[in-house]
């Protein structure tokens, strides 16, 4: 939700923290701030706006000196985005500074107690309450910063990742985590340490990192081994140092104007990486350890419940069609946020599949915990390796899409569908619900998808021209049937997210039960009308729209004749079997939303009010 960075060592902390914040801006970009210890005192600059605004302000306000500092990029939860509510926050005495990602739910009670003890508050944030609570604990108990943080956190209800330091003891940073991620980068010979919400801010400095687990805190001191403890029972934890796989190139734009465009174009590679080593066509097998090791559970499951949010939920809807169609297992797809609060019926014979790009979405994580507490087996489909959801689930499969930086999810979606298709096919084979010749055909088709995605991408210029015509529309409808109904939802979501045009996705046949009333000559309607599935029925739906003067942009299979005659614009995709069409039909819809957003001068990679990873409820 928010991004945290920090540095302690021998280099200038300022550029490391600022660059790190820029890489973490996908997590939030309402406001940004930095605090450094300059050798004598702390210097602090913070502002509403983006990291670029902070750069301008900090240049006027502070001298960028010092080898210790922390920074923050915010997605507001408590208190509107303004300069005062921006992080870092200082304690009343001005000695302690903090950056925080998460929510302190009992902040109001704590604040009242602190006010009774003489504290006053400058901001409306829960974070300022926390840093004053730490200060009060320190004073009352005469303890070191680490202990004070620990005692204070034991009084807190909520979620947090924090980094704190004390200007009177500028040789350490204290970090802690509950529900929001935090990684510690370990420099060579422990001469320097980095702190960040993910490893991207320090990837060029070190490949060694420790990811804190929930309820853990760490004291970071130069030259010393990182000391990790459990916040609640004070027990020492053996830190496991991980080797980072990510490289700098992966998190840079590589010549593209936006991360979103880069990520759209990366899909052929990303999908190949997803099935590499798993889809062994020549041997006629699919091998996924998470599935093989739990095959009995999958085969005996009464049903699969998929939990996810946003785009990942749409991937879950596609999976419902695939699992039921191929493996004949009943599937329910749930918004994690609804599932977790509605006392769902879950049994030990249910399998929960949690889908999440970031692996950090708070609602999905809570849904997993609920399902586990009821005895269900939980399988994760995540992109971020080592993420909370990846760790919380019993087993899982990574999508291997590589870092996704654009807030609007693209390659995460297609790689999630790829993983879910592989699982469905593997189960179908084990259950005997597909014939061996069909199975072989599916493997072959899936292997061809990256090439076909490349072909779909060649329509980019054509889609740009269509975007020019409709960029000023105020509403869009997206229609699809069967496997492509979830794609219609996803297409509409992409447009809403980045261009701020109202768009609705609908099952094509449901149109006549309401949305048809909206259709007139000003309404662009994107219809997915590929040749397999319900082609004739969709053609009838298109005719219904045309007779009410709606403007049709149709996504069709190459060589289509019928739709071409009636639609205003057609975008062709290569032919594949019906179940894999979402992997291709999605591509033009991503490009359409991208171009329209660019033409409307919207911030494509950082749309307003959104965040890449939603670690609060
Ligand atoms: C946010 C993002 C979406 C994403 C959703 C679920 O809303 O902006 O792009 O689909 O969270 O995120 P997850 O990381 O769990 O897939």
Give distance in angstroms: CA of 310 to centre of ligand 1.
5
* Predicted pLDDT of residue 277: 93
pTM of the predicted model as reported, rounded to 2 decimal places? 0.83
Q: Does the C-beta of 612 come closer than 6 Å to ligand 1?
A: yes
* Predicted pLDDT of residue 395: 97
Q: Does the C-beta of 310 come closer than 6 Å to ligand 1?
A: yes
* Predicted pLDDT of residue 206: 97
Atom of ligand 1 nearest to the CA of 361: 15
CA dist., res. 239 & res. 442, Å (int): 44
Atom of ligand 1 nearest to the CA of 312: 16
* Predicted pLDDT of residue 251: 79
CB atoms closer than 10 angstroms to residue 180: 28
Residue ranges in the chain modelled with pLDDT below 50 = none
* Predicted pLDDT of residue 450: 97
> Partners of 183 in the beta sheet?
196, 211
Residue 150 makes CB contacts below 8 A (sequence gap 6+) with: 176, 217, 229, 231, 234
* Predicted pLDDT of residue 252: 83
Give distance in angstroms: CA of 416 to centre of ligand 1.
12
* Predicted pLDDT of residue 190: 94
Q: Does the C-beta of 606 come closer than 6 Å to ligand 1?
A: no
> DSSP labels for 500-524?
--EEEEEEGGGGGGTGGGG-STT-E
Half-sphere exposure for 54 (CA within 13 Å, toward CB): 33
User: Where would I find the H helices in 38-157?
Assistant: 51-61, 107-116, 126-141, 145-153
Active site residue 2: yes
Active site residue 309: no
CA dist., res. 374 & res. 351, Å (int): 11
* Predicted pLDDT of residue 401: 94
> Residues 46, 167, 411, 612: which is the catalytic one?
612
| Nearest to 181, CA basis, from 227, 226, 213, 204 | 213
């Amino acid at each position: 939700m928010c991004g945290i960075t920090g540095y302690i060592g021998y280099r200038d902390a300022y550029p490391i923290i600022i660059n790190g914040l820029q890489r973490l801006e996908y997590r939030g970009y309402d406001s940004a701030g930095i605090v450094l210890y300059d050798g004598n005192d702390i210097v602090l600059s913070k502002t509403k706006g983006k990291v670029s605004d902070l750069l301008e302000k900090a240049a006027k306000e502070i001298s960028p000196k010092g080898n210790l500092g922390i920074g923050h990029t915010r997605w507001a939860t408590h208190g509107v985005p303004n300069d005062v509510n921006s992080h870092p926050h200082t304690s009343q005495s001005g000695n302690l500074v903090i950056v925080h990602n998460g929510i302190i739910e009992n902040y109001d009670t704590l604040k009242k107690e602190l006010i009774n003890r003489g504290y006053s508050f400058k901001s409306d944030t829960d974070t300022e309450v926390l840093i004053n609570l730490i200060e009060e604990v320190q004073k009352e108990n005469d303890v070191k910063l680490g202990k004070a943080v620990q005692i204070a956190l034991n009084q807190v209800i909520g979620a947090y990742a924090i980094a704190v330091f004390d200007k009177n003891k500028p040789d350490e940073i204290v970090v802690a985590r509950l529900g929001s991620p935090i990684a510690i980068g370990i420099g060579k010979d422990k001469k320097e340490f980095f702190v960040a919400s993910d490893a991207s801010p320090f990837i060029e400095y070190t490949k060694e990192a420790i990811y804190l687990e929930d309820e853990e805190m760490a004291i970071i001191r130069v030259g010393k081994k990182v000391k990790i403890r459990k916040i609640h029972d004070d027990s020492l934890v053996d830190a496991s140092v991980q080797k980072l796989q990510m490289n700098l190139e992966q998190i840079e734009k590589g010549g593209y104007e936006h991360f979103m465009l880069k990520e759209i174009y990366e899909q052929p590679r990303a999908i190949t990486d997803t099935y590499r080593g798993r889809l062994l066509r020549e041997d006629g097998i699919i091998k996924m350890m998470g599935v093989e090791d739990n095959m009995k559970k999958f085969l005996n499951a009464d049903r699969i419940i998929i939990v996810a949010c946003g785009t990942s939920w749409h991937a879950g809807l596609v999976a419902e069609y695939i699992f039921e169609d191929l493996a004949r297992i009943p599937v329910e797809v749930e918004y994690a946020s609804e599932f977790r609060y509605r006392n769902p019926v879950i049994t030990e014979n249910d399998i929960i599949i949690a889908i999440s790009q970031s692996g950090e979405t708070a609602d999905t994580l809570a849904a997993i915990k609920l399902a586990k507490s009821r005895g269900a087996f939980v399988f994760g489909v995540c992109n971020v390796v080592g993420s909370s959801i990846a760790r919380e689930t019993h087993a899982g499969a990574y999508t291997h899409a590589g870092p996704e930086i654009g807030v609007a999810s693209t390659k995460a979606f297609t790689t999630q569908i790829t993983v879910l298709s592989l699982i469905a096919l593997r189960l179908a084979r084990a259950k005997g619900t597909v014939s061996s010749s069909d199975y072989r055909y599916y493997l072959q088709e899936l292997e061809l998808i990256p090439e076909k995605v490349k072909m779909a991408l060649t329509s980019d210029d054509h889609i740009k021209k269509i975007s020019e015509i409709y960029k000023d529309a105020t509403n869009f409808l997206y229609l699809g049937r069967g496997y492509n109904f979830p794609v219609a939802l996803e297409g509409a979501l992409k447009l809403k997210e980045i261009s701020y045009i109202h768009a609705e996705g609908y099952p094509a046949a449901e149109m006549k039960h309401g949305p048809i009333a909206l259709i007139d000559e000003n309404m662009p309607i994107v219809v997915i009308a590929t040749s397999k599935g319900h082609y004739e029925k969709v053609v009838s739906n298109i005719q219904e729209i045309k007779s009410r003067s709606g403007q049709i942009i149709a996504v069709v299979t190459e060589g289509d004749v019928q739709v071409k005659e009636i639609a205003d614009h057609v975008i062709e995709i290569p032919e594949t079997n019906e179940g894999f069409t979402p992997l291709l039909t999605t591509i033009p819809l991503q490009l359409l939303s991208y171009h329209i957003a660019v033409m409307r001068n919207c911030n494509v990679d950082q749309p307003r009010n959104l965040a890449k990873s939603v670690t609060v409820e």
